Structure 1
């Protein structure tokens, strides 16, 4: 990607008003939300741009903003992380407010009917779009993609650089030559019906309907691919012809708000790096699943409220810390262990089983790929950290896994603060650098017996001998 990732579209101010509902209002059968706090965050194209910037990209957000308090708040939240280039929004900045009791939404209020209308956009906007290395269009039906100058600029770029278009039923169709369009299932059916007019006969429900809509839209819009997001079922990619490509999603629970933005953002990044459509959709499903599991847009709002940066992928470890905190609140014991876990074998499984019995949850701290290379040499690890974590989290004795990039897990343990830190008996009589960290906060270190004759090194040596 020679130029920055340009996110172009409508920005909203999203606000979660979060409290606890313990009683009903005396004058109406509605819950009273007490001790409410306000958690603002960028929404729409603003959220997509922020997520892309969190992954280390050079990002420019092109949008329309009014001169009002919500717009000023949006600029203040976005400016530390990316460049904002804006033209005039006619009317008030749109705000979407969710009233929530814990993790449950009680009501939503939409305020502000601002829209971008045709008119001058200024040289800064024109230059930003023309210099894009990749474009992500985040259309929320507020007029940015309907603006004639913007649409002409996009039409000139499509085919020259990857363009990913996240559509909206009230928005505009993507320009011909767009690389990938990412509607959700309901949007795909409504958009197909709108494009098909009298010719559209409907496609029923389920995967056949998604494939029918995607294929129809790819042809009607003259785009390379349409990926219909299916929520917990993943996403289905189809072009104008050929067999659709289905990417299932891993089961996850969490706040799904912002999952579509997360999906489109990661797809654009993969295409920016030269990836194929199938690679982009596969990566996007994984990324959106992780985003939901880590708390979704609500977790992002919490970090912004603390003044933190948006979470980078390696930092999205909220699940493990939440598991540990939940166990502590219940008076339980948090156990943790760590290592490379490259080529998981029976010795690893035995250690994890024994460690889990020492407490009420087990968190595994896993060396990153770079950390393994520093410890084991340039030919290791055999399995990437993503694969190692996935295998570990599939074990019933493992409640969560965390990745660390340092040579020792000491800095991570200072944050996690397990009651018990477990290592194998091969460390008996040897210095354990993190032991001081654990004991300093009141934790304890224990060694567990190993299963004789099992090691990754021995497995690799055996495999090499067989191969020769």
Structure 2
């Protein structure tokens, strides 16, 4: 039986909480009295930050979560409680000073400026019975250190030290924070944090890239007697140093977008798996997958939007080919949506060239892919050679493709009714032939564009050459 089977065993998040606010709008002109953008139609979207975001994301999975943190009795502190308490238990002790706040000003999904306020820090003193009780029931503990004193608090450190032999503790560090308590199972710095933590000991590990990062991870694991150190690599995933001769690399799925909060998402999910009895490699792999899904779903900005719209922080299931989110983001930023379609069976250089040219026509490219049954109806019983899921995966690996979506019909017309692309692209081999989708594209204000083909490249020719198959 795992710890999660005991309803009295929550995931406990310990650390510094901030109030994060995005002021998001559009910027189409400069201020007349200074060369700065004017943010119009701005909306304020608040969310918990730091350990608060990690706790909220864990609670969104349906886990019982207790947040142990220092909170101030000021207006930002009360806003934080209102954002957190509907979703998890807050076991708080006093924060001395004012609540730390980070305000990002954003336009077209890009940060324009950040304003930091608040001087609050946790100082030694009683933490109260709720904190002691919460840690005493913990199935796993995530320590989310943002350098504001919670991990320096003597009573908190004593409780964590007593807990470490029996309960997995994941320590997400900060260069201005504290060393993990003895018995901590996993440390999760990013590359910069690993370098700064190593340099803080006056240890020089020269170089960059995976080799230097792995050496820093191994040093930190030995330095603090940890079972493992997982250094997060942003879009490249995470590398785990756990005493084995070779490091374990958990690669990330391609997930373009705002990475704000991805580290908290990684840490929360990794801690959940450790609490569920998973190994370090299982936990780190699951954490990387969750962080990729988190970025795909819109990251921390989307958490704030969901809280404002529905009151829930839950991340919607990722479809992997979520064209709708891509289109929504592109149109919200005033961009041009380009789409194309086809079987893309045995992807070849001609396909790649067409897709690259199509992507340059706008701000995103959606590829409509014939389902396996649709290909068979068009090409015969011997096709497709590659099933639809694999064709989509290969397409989504191309830098030119923002999303791919499968359609079951003989033509993409029903799908185009929903996508409504600004530009629909086909190859020049369709010149002079009626396109069944052309009227639909134009009815919704779009245009059809034919692009030149790469001479001599086709799936049919490839099959005939390699297998003697014709269609």
TM superposition shift of 1:212:
0.9
Mapped pair 1:189 → 2:192? no
1:300 is matched with which residue? Answer: 303
CA gap 1:316/1:309 in 2 versus in 1, 3 angstroms: farther
Structure 1: distance between partners of 2:67 and 2:183: 22
Does 2:99 correspond to 1:82?
no
Shift in Å, 1:319: 3.8
Secondary structure class of the residue paired with 1:168 = coil
SS in 2 for 1:314: coil
- Cα shift readout 1:252-285 (whole Å, capped 9, x = no counterpart): 2100000110111111111111111111111111
SS at match of 1:98: strand
Instruction: Sort the Cα spacing of 1:206 and 1:309 in 2 relative to 1 into closer, same or farther, 3 A.
Output: same
Which stretch of structure 1 is more off in the superposition, 135-144 or 302-311?
302-311
Q: Which runs of 5+ in 1 are unaligned?
A: 337-344, 347-359, 367-385, 403-412, 420-468
Q: CA deviation at 1:330?
A: 8.5
The answer to whether the 8 Å contact 1:18/1:38 transfers is yes
Tell me the residue number matched to 1:157: 163
Call closer, same or farther: CA 1:252–1:313 in 2, change over 3 Å.
same
TM-score, normalised to structure 1's length? 0.72
CA distance in 2, matches of 1:56, 1:207: 35
Going from structure 1 to structure 2, the CA distance change for 1:92 and 1:130 (only over 3 Å counts) comes to: same
- Going from structure 1 to structure 2, the CA distance change for 1:392 and 1:266 (only over 3 Å counts) comes to farther
* Maintained 8 Å contact 2:366/2:405: no
d(CA) in 1 for partners of 2:337, 2:242: 52
Q: TM-score, normalised by structure 2?
A: 0.71
Distance 1:205 1:302 in 2: 37
1:92 alignment counterpart: 98
Cα deviation 1:73-122 (Å, max 9, x = unaligned): 11111111111110000010100011111211111111001000000111
CA contact (8 A) 2:13 2:68 kept: yes
Once the two structures are TM-superposed, the CA of residue 135 in structure 1 deviates from its matched residue by 0.3
Give the structure 2 partner of residue 369 of structure 1.
Answer: none
User: Does the C-alpha gap of structure 1 residues 8 and 388 become closer, same or farther in structure 2, counting only changes over 3 Å?
Assistant: farther
3-state DSSP class of the match of 1:145?
A: helix
| Aligned 8 A contact 1:96 1:108 in 2 | yes
Select 1:225's aligned residue among 228, 237, 250: 228
d(CA) in 1 for partners of 2:159, 2:370: 48
- Cα RMSD for the two superposed structures: 3.7
User: Which stretch of the first structure deviates more once superposed, 294-303 or 309-318?
Assistant: 309-318
Q: Does 1:399 align with 2:403?
A: yes
CA contact (8 A) 1:324 1:334 kept: no
Give the Cα–Cα distance (whole angstroms) in 1 for the partners of residues 304 and 110 of structure 2.
16
Residues 1:296 and 1:312: Cα distance change in structure 2 (over 3 Å): closer
| Preserved CA contact (<8 Å) 1:364 1:398 | no
Aligned to 2:209: 206
Q: Which moved more, 1:156-165 or 1:241-250?
A: 241-250
Q: How does 1:401-440 map to 2 (within 5 A)?
A: none
For 1:193 and 1:313, locate their aligned partners in 2 and report how far apart those are by CA, in whole Å.
40
What is the CA-CA distance between 1:223 and the residue it aligns to? 0.9
Q: Given that residues 297 and 315 in structure 2 are in contact (C-alpha distance below 8 angstroms), is that contact kept between their aligned partners in structure 1? A: no
Deviations 1:283-328 (A, max 9, x none): 1111111111221101111111113411245267794322454589
Instruction: State the shift of 1:229 in Å.
Output: 0.6
Cα distance in 2, alignment partners of residues 81 and 335 from structure 1: 42
Task: Describe how 1:12-91 pairs up with structure 2 within 5 A.
Answer: 12-91=18-97
Q: Give the SS at the match of 2:292.
A: helix
**Which deviations, in whole Å up to 9, do the C-alpha atoms of 1:366-418 show, x marking residues without a partner?**
9xxxxxxxxxxxxxxxxxxx99985785699993459xxxxxxxxxx9xx956
Tell me the residue number matched to 2:377: none
- CA distance in 2: counterparts of 1:313 and 1:161, whole angstroms: 30
Alignment pair present for 1:284 and 2:290: no
Residue 10 (structure 2) pairs with residue 4 (structure 1):
yes
What is the total number of aligned residue pairs between the two structures?
379
Unaligned runs of 5+ in 2: 346-364, 372-388, 407-413, 421-471
Mapped to 2, the partners of 1:398 and 1:21 lie a distance apart of 24
Q: 2:272 aligns with which of 269, 272, 275?
A: 269
